[in-house]
Structure 1
Amino acid sequence: MQEMSKGSIDHSNCTALVMLNTRMFRSDQSIKEMVKPKAESPWGNHFAFLHVQLPELVASTELNPIEFVRKAQQIIKRKRSSLAVYLTAAFIEIVEKLKGHEVAAQYIPKTMVNASMTVTNMIGPLEKMSLANNPIKGMYFAVAGNPQSLNITIVSYVDKLRVTLGAEKGFIDAQKLKSCIEEAFQMILKSVACEIQQRN
């Protein structure tokens, strides 16, 4: 982010909209079980979202990118356990019951407009899968039609993590963003390696 804003005078805050799955998930269930009237994990989308202000990358955190990651993680953990997440989810559910799916669906884009970017993740299969006897080497998912200029989706598949970036064409320099993300991952990797060496 620091690299992207070098030529910019605007120091406005960057806010990420983090999508949270609020489904009560204890084990795999069939659709038949999920559509039952009093199912433990009812069928349908169950989610909430929270706005997270990204911490600034200053000189001290630039030297240790792990601190930047930890600070972002602390902010998300604090906000995730706040009452706002549950109230948002309850509000959407009440609107859906009283006014229907369409009215509830209109509320979501209005909330999304107030964020600079969206971040969401999905837990993928723990075992290798195949489709028509063809092994699946990897998978990813992307969200389309969002009002944000940047969308980040993360999915795991057999102990591998895949990060997908969706950037608005003509607004974000995709190649520069890609190189910045790769550089950030390398910085974090080196920093973690140094931290592990210091512990041992």
Structure 2
Amino acid sequence: MGVESEREVLEPLSPITLSLSTPKLTLYIISVFESEIPFNVDTLKSWITQIMDCLNPRFCCTMVEKDRGELRWKRVNLNIDDHFIVPKPPNGDSDTHDQHVKQYICDVSLKPLPMDRPLWEFHVLNWKTTCSPATLVVKVHHSVGDGVSMMSFLLDLAKRADDPTKPISFPTSSSASGKAQFKNFRNVFSSVSSRIGGLVSGAWYSAIDVVDGLARSKLWVQDSNIPMRGPPGVEKLPVRISQATMDLKEIKMVGKKLNATVNDVLLGAISYGLQKYLQLSLSKDERYKDPSVILEGLKVTSLVFFNAREDKGLQKPEMMFTSNSKAPWGNRIYFFLRPIPFGMPKDPTYFVKQASSSTKRSKSSLGVLLGRKFLVFKARYRDPEVAASSFYNSMSSTTLALSNMVGPKEKIAIEGHPIKDFSFFVTGIPLSLFLSVVSYMDHVNLRATGTKGYVDTETLCRCITEAFQEIKDSLVS
């Protein structure tokens, strides 16, 4: 078999990937890296050209239709110039271009990728901002892989800035997310079989989650129609992006005092911050005389994405492509629904405790696992469009989406360019608000992506940081 024949070998798309590659549902992952020095474009191009083909086959593939319209991956020759975009700096006398960079990222997030070539782009912005002299924006079609896949790939490109010969390390599972939230799905019944009460509650919660998931996939159940929820097709509207930063040590300190995980603390701060934001927003609307009373009757739900792999840790891409990998490459994601608690408690830690309680409840339910299996079944044996429609409806029935990733403990460098900070977000989700959280070194970045005219992301980020500060101060006092 010749070289060209070998590149013709086709691999079918997985069921979940098929559902993310339909006109109904098309998602993109956007990663933003802020460099401490301007990027050398020629160096980056030469380096990527040398390593991309052998490092990860998905980045050298396009989708093609075979018999009966079946989509498969096809290896193609990579033209690096198709994937590197280097826009000229904006005109003007300003020394910094913060707003230009933000607007560029927003514009890139909405523009579809060409489907006749590998589904990724690098946008190199050597535009100085108040935070950094250059920004790298990496856009990848979600069909190529999920957030865990992308994080593994991008960090495989990077090296430790202090010593490139040493491996990049990550927070342990206990410090990043407590006990693996979904690690024992397959063994959940055996783990509680010795306690009849636990078995009954697990079955009850599973039934509730299955029914709720089914009802939302049919749009029979939806969140309250509050001003921040966008209209149908909101995923195609212009967005605004803002970012908040929190100290990781302080988050861990709060978690230790409340016997909660880092995720619980973050979810608690987000819940409290969202309540503060809604109070502020509703108080400006003449229709709401007493926002606190209105809030207590609202149904607001967060759709939280999670990693459904057996091994939750990050792996090198080549290991993820092995046949027996416990953390395989691809789209091994699903979501669970977490109600946002509202109320006027005197103790701000109430929201963290509620998040912790909700986490424990989720551990005893098989509803999420069954929901994902049902989605895979529909994509594989019925029609990817049907699965995409169910996925779309389930998301659009909620108010916001949340994704959380663990980043490296040390500063990283991309081909000699030290990275001061980085973050990510997902576009194409039929919601007016997406919150993404990633840890990096000694802090946590929270990026809010909101639809213009529906969510004031700057105010929301400020409310979330204020909420975390109140939670922390209440423990100190």
Q: Shorter-chain TM-score: what band?
A: 0.7 to 0.9
* Aligned equivalent of 1:107: 390
Separation of aligned partners in 2, 1:160 and 1:153: 14
Of 41, 48, 52, the residue aligned with 2:327 is 41
* Aligned equivalent of 1:142: 425
Task: Determine which structure has greater relative contact order: mean sequence separation of CA pairs < 8 Å that are 6+ residues apart, divided by chain length.
Answer: 2
Of 435, 439, 445, the residue aligned with 1:162 is 445
Of 67, 70, 75, the residue aligned with 2:350 is 67
State TM-score, norm by structure 1. Answer: 0.83
Choose 5-14 or 178-187, whichever is displaced more.
5-14
How many residues in Structure 1 have an aligned counterpart in Structure 2? 191
- Mapped contact 1:49–1:88 kept (Cα < 8 A): no
Alpha-carbon offset, residue 161 of structure 1? 0.9
Which amino acid letter does the alignment assign opposite residue 130 of structure 1? A
Alpha-carbon offset, residue 111 of structure 1? 0.9
Which amino acid letter does the alignment assign opposite residue 107 of structure 1? S
Structure 2 gaps, min length 5? 1-274
* Aligned equivalent of 1:22: 308
Which amino acid letter does the alignment assign opposite residue 469 of structure 2? Q
Alpha-carbon offset, residue 158 of structure 1? 1.9
Secondary structure in 2 matching 1:137: strand
- Mapped contact 2:349–2:471 kept (Cα < 8 A): yes
State TM-score, norm by structure 2. Answer: 0.37
Separation of aligned partners in 1, 2:441 and 2:303: 27
Separation of aligned partners in 2, 1:178 and 1:30: 33
Secondary structure in 2 matching 1:48: strand
The verdict on how the C-alpha distance between 1:33 and 1:148 changes in structure 2, with shifts beyond 3 A counting, is same
Which amino acid letter does the alignment assign opposite residue 343 of structure 2? L
Separation of aligned partners in 2, 1:162 and 1:47: 21
Separation of aligned partners in 2, 1:40 and 1:46: 11
* Aligned equivalent of 1:120: 403
Alpha-carbon offset, residue 66 of structure 1? 0.9
Separation of aligned partners in 1, 2:458 and 2:393: 30
The verdict on how the C-alpha distance between 1:182 and 1:14 changes in structure 2, with shifts beyond 3 A counting, is same
Alpha-carbon offset, residue 123 of structure 1? 1.2
Separation of aligned partners in 2, 1:15 and 1:97: 29
1:91 and 2:374 correspond = yes
Alpha-carbon offset, residue 131 of structure 1? 1.2
- Mapped contact 1:57–1:68 kept (Cα < 8 A): no
Of 82, 96, 115, the residue aligned with 2:365 is 82
Which amino acid letter does the alignment assign opposite residue 56 of structure 1? F
- Mapped contact 1:50–1:80 kept (Cα < 8 A): no
Separation of aligned partners in 2, 1:36 and 1:100: 28
Q: CA RMSD in A?
A: 2.3
Choose 179-188 or 97-106, whichever is displaced more.
97-106
- Mapped contact 2:309–2:326 kept (Cα < 8 A): no
Separation of aligned partners in 2, 1:28 and 1:179: 31
Alpha-carbon offset, residue 71 of structure 1? 0.8
Of 439, 442, 459, the residue aligned with 1:176 is 459
The verdict on how the C-alpha distance between 1:189 and 1:78 changes in structure 2, with shifts beyond 3 A counting, is same
Structure 1 gaps, min length 5? 195-200
* Aligned equivalent of 1:197: none
The verdict on how the C-alpha distance between 1:13 and 1:187 changes in structure 2, with shifts beyond 3 A counting, is same
Counterparts of residues 45-60 of structure 1 (less than 5 Å): 45-58=331-344
